[in-house]
Amino acid sequence: MTGPASTSTAPPGGPAGGHERSILILTTVGSLMFAIDSTIVVLALPTMARELSAPLTVLIWAILLYILIGAALTTQAGRMGDLWGRGRVYNSGFAIFTLGSLLCGLAPSANFLVAARAVQAVGGSLLFANGSAILAYIFPPQRRGTAFGMLALGWGVGAILGILLGGVITTALGWRYIFFINIPIGVGAVALGLRVLPATPRTPTQFDWPGFVTLTALLAAVSYGAIELAIYGGSWLTYGYLTLGLLLLPVFFYLEIHAAQPLVEVQDLRNRLLGFSLVAGFFQSLGYLSIVFLLTLYLQGVRALTPLDASLLLVPGYCVGAVAGPLMGRLAYRTGTRAMATGGIVLMLVGIAAYSALGASTWLGWVPIISLVTGLGTGMFFPANTLAIMSQAPPDRLGSVSGLRSTLQNMGALLSFVLAFAIAGATVPKDVAYAVFLGTLTGGIPTAFLVGLHNALYVSAGVLGVAAILSWNRGRDAGASSPRAVPSELPGGK
């Protein structure tokens, strides 16, 4: 059922008023910027630690808090788009993200930097949660696969650009400029958004504040406890945080079952295609999104490469994923999403299995070769899975479902990073793990640390196996023949 405001007349030239290409560029840039700042801080951590005189346990939250806020906020951010208009909320996201970038670059202390990253994450969440909903609104069903592929392109290019730019800019200009580069892009994006983003229909909705607060506390407790455990070892306080996170899990589900409009709509998960696609996306993120971090540790820590040389070895795979995304999205619309998305996960799994065979003296040429396989896998999975999810979203809740998809993906990314951090550092003394993660270890990396990296990769491969099973069992494909691929209530659908 659509809200009363959803009967508004589409502007001339369709819902986008003839600005489809500009909107596609804008949402792709938004996806790219959010992805860049998910990884750009990794290689700058040693420099930040020296200049800000901060310990790793503080600075690591410049990464984790960014992902954590994204994980907790994106569902609510999607509902903001439903309630206040997706174009308006999306553009506000760019403005807040740009402000947060300015504050990060001006940060006088580590604590200020972490707080500024929180501001940046709020803006990024508004972007990430509403981008696919805007595209689903303005593009007819037969073109959505290509549009979602462009979002995958932006994410794929942004992930590797974050690693590349983090090393290059920090070395050439200083770590503050990894944030300052966002400002002109953000200002230009806001100006373009004011001109081209459509006034989408508004749908009355409610925010699930109890669920949001509980989910945020749950993720923060688990993340903090796991990071403390990885760096300093076990203590009563560390285990207390982990226990608190586990205890909050049933509380969260209780609140969701009894909420009027919960973060997780049970009726969405009862739709087999939608539910399995959402959960498969979560496990794919959980199993895969820490791989660039693990490979960075291997290439820089074990193989002693410079940040730039290490990131260059990963470029081919991300290029393949970026190019393949729009093409595979178009193909998924025609042939269905089940085989495309599952095949993508299988390719990622094969690639991770190959990475786990890398040793201290393995030919480094295998790294870009393997990355081609994983890059093609991401180019297949992301647009196909997004198409499956959004094709099943009720027209009056495009923003909510898009936000739920983003929330699960960000939750997977956060837990993936925490899991990889904890497992990789479990095989060496805590002070050695601390130095490796920070990039300040002098002398050679212990062989035991390579064992820890392999263990983390084995776990990632196992999680991706679960994702592949869920993806294959999603049920009927959401290709051109899907009964909801052309929702008659959706403005612009034909």
Number of domains in the chain: 2
> Does the residue 5 lie in any domain?
no
Check whether residue 191 and residue 213 sit in a common domain.
no
Domain that holds residue 248: 208-260
| Contacting residues for 153 by C-beta, under 8 A, at least 6 apart | 28, 321, 322, 323, 325, 326
Domain contains 306? yes
Average pLDDT over residues 255-266: 77
The answer to whether residues 432 and 348 belong to one domain is yes
Report CA-CA distances (Å) from 280 to 145, 253, 472.
Answer: 18, 19, 9
322, 158 Cβ separation under 8 angstroms:
no
Per-residue pLDDT band for 23 (boundaries 50, 70, 90) equals: confident
Q: What is the pLDDT of residue 44?
A: 77
Residue 493 domain flag: no
* Per-residue model confidence (pLDDT) at position 441: 66
Dihedral-angle region of residue 443 (phi above 0 means left; psi in -120 to 50 means alpha; beta otherwise) = left
Residue 3 pLDDT grade (very low, low, confident, very high; cuts 50, 70, 90): very low
Q: Band of the pLDDT at 15, cuts 50, 70, 90?
A: low
- Is residue 31 located within the same domain as residue 140? yes
Is there a single domain that holds both residue 182 and residue 227? no
Residues 179, 241, single domain; the answer is no
- To the nearest whole percent, how much of the chain has pLDDT over 70? 83
Q: Distance between CA 418 and CA 423 in Å, rounded?
A: 9
Whether 70 contacts 100, CB under 8 Å: no
* Residue 381 domain flag: yes
pLDDT, one tens digit per residue, over 35-82 is 788 777 876 777 787 788 887 678 778 887 888 887 778 777 877 887
- pLDDT band of residue 92 (cuts 50, 70, 90) is very high
pLDDT tens-digit readout, 416-475 = 887 887 888 777 776 676 666 666 666 666 777 888 889 999 999 999 999 999 999 987
Point out the least confidently predicted range of 110-114, 194-198, 294-298, 478-482.
Answer: 478-482
CATH number for the domain including 466?
A: 1.20.1250.20
* Percent residues over pLDDT 90 in the chain: 23
Q: Read off the pLDDT of each residue in 299-313 and give the average, rounded to a whole number.
A: 76
Confidence of residue 102 (pLDDT cuts 50, 70, 90): very high
Measured CA to CA, the distance from residue 114 to residue 210 in angstroms comes to 24
Co-location of 92 and 181 in the same domain: yes
| pLDDT score of 209 more than 70 | yes
Mean pLDDT of the chain: 80
Q: Is there a single domain that holds both residue 219 and residue 289?
A: no
Do 252 and 273 have their domain in common? no
pLDDT of 391 strictly over 90 = no
Does residue 162 register a pLDDT over 50? Answer: yes
How far apart CA 189 and CA 185 sit, in angstroms, is 6
pLDDT at residue 490 in the model: 30
pLDDT > 80? residue 361: yes
Are the C-beta atoms of residues 217 and 237 closer than 8 Å to each other? no
Q: What is the pLDDT of residue 156?
A: 66
**Lowest-pLDDT range, 100-114, 365-379, 394-408, 430-444?**
430-444
Q: Are residues 296 and 360 in the same domain?
A: yes
* 312 shares its domain with 188: yes
Tell whether 355 and 248 lie within a shared domain: no
pLDDT of residue 1: 33
247 and 332 inside one domain: no
In a domain, 175, yes or no: yes
Predicted pLDDT of residue 291: 85
In a domain, 8, yes or no: no
pLDDT reading at 352 higher than 80:
yes
What burial class does residue 153 get, using C-beta atoms within 10 Å of its C-beta: 0-12 exposed, 13-18 middle, 19+ buried? buried
Choose between 375 and 483: higher pLDDT. 375
Residue 142 lies in a domain: yes
pLDDT digits (tens, 9 = 90+) for 117-130: 999 999 988 887 78
Q: What is the mean pLDDT of residues 309-323?
A: 79
CB atoms within 10 A of CB 429: 12
Q: CA nearest 170: which of 32, 39, 293, 65?
A: 39
- Give the per-residue pLDDT at 489: 31
Tens-digit pLDDT profile for residues 319-344: 787 778 778 878 887 888 888 999 99
User: Which structure tokens are listed for 350?
Assistant: 């094969």
Task: With a cut of 60, say whether residue 360 has pLDDT above it.
Answer: yes
Task: Assess if residue 176 is contained within a domain.
Answer: yes
Nearest-CA neighbor of 150 among 379, 430, 345?
379
Nearest to 38 by CA among 299, 414, 454: 414
Measured CA to CA, the distance from residue 464 to residue 47 in angstroms comes to 34
Query: What's the pLDDT band for 8 if we cut at 50, 70, 90?
Result: very low
